[in-house]
Amino acid sequence: DSTTLANGSHIVTAISRDLAENTRRAPPVVIKNNNSATAGITYYIASGVDANGSPTSVVGNDANDGLSPTQIAPGQGPWQTLTNINSHMQTGATFRFRRRDAFTGFIRLGNARNITFSSYYNPNGSDDPSQPRPKITHTGGEKVFSNSCVGTCVPPNNWNLLIENLHLFNPYPASGGGGIGIGSPMINNNAQSPYTIGTYTVRNMEIHGGNVAFILSGGGRFILEDSILHDTWNSTSYVG
């Protein structure tokens, strides 16, 4: 029953047995398990370097499928950068960044519902909170996470979002710079209303915002837990 297995790549070995109890083992094969999007797909990202530029133990590749926490076969392993995330933003998806690793860029959340961004560390995909948070750095005039986009971007009502266990760093000291910005539906970056987000949870985070650490506007429920906020230029991190 593949629904009992995690999405990703698995190694399967078949053993045949005849009436005389002779056995023969077939060579192992790798299969991909991809349950429906409603069940949620988990993608893994491992940059291979830490915030100081020193190598770490797992190096991803953007040519991989992103479905495994470590490299298990050609094309089957974690991604290395944020490049593939925006094109794989789908309802129920989870994106896990490897602890100790450092990344650059920003993420546009798009129209998908019920998205999770979190961390992992161990080869089986489980987490280890004793390790440093993954660090995502963006130095331009856009939040590290935002729902601004080019063209039409209208997240539906009850659009739930969980961001946890990450270190976001955007020192850009003017309008736009910051950690997280979730506003009203955006059409060519202009706010449209009315809009109701569902539940927006930020948990166990460290956020350095050159302009603001986070902005949430348009309504909905906001949960902030066990997080450190650094607002280095403008003290107007807010929920509105």
- Tell which residue, 23, 21, 65, has the closest CA to residue 43: 65
Q: What is the pLDDT at residue 25?
A: 84
> Do strands 135-137 and 178-182 pair parallel, antiparallel, or not at all (unpaired)?
unpaired
Structure tokens that stand for 191 in this block: 């706010």
Contact 191, 185 (CB under 8 A): yes
Angle at alpha carbon of residue 128, lines to 6 and 31, rounded to 5°: 20
**Phi/psi of residue 39, nearest 5 degrees:** -80, -20
Closest C-alpha among 164, 171, 166, 165 to residue 223: 164
Tell me the two tokens of residue 240.
Answer: 């509105």
Amino acid at 39: A
Rg of the Cα trace of the chain? 20
Please count the residues of the chain: 240
What is the CB neighbour count within 10 angstroms for residue 46? 30
Q: Using CA atoms, how far apart are residues 156 and 224, in angstroms rounded to an integer?
A: 22
pLDDT along the chain (240 residues), means of 10: 62 82 83 60 97 95 97 96 90 95 87 87 96 88 65 56 87 56 41 53 80 57 75 48
Dihedral over Cα of 114, 101, 226, 238: its sign? negative
Cβ atoms of 51 and 135 within 8 Å: the answer is yes
User: What's the CA gap between 193 and 204, in Å, rounded?
Assistant: 30
pLDDT at 172: 62
**Alpha-carbon 19 to chain mean position:** 51
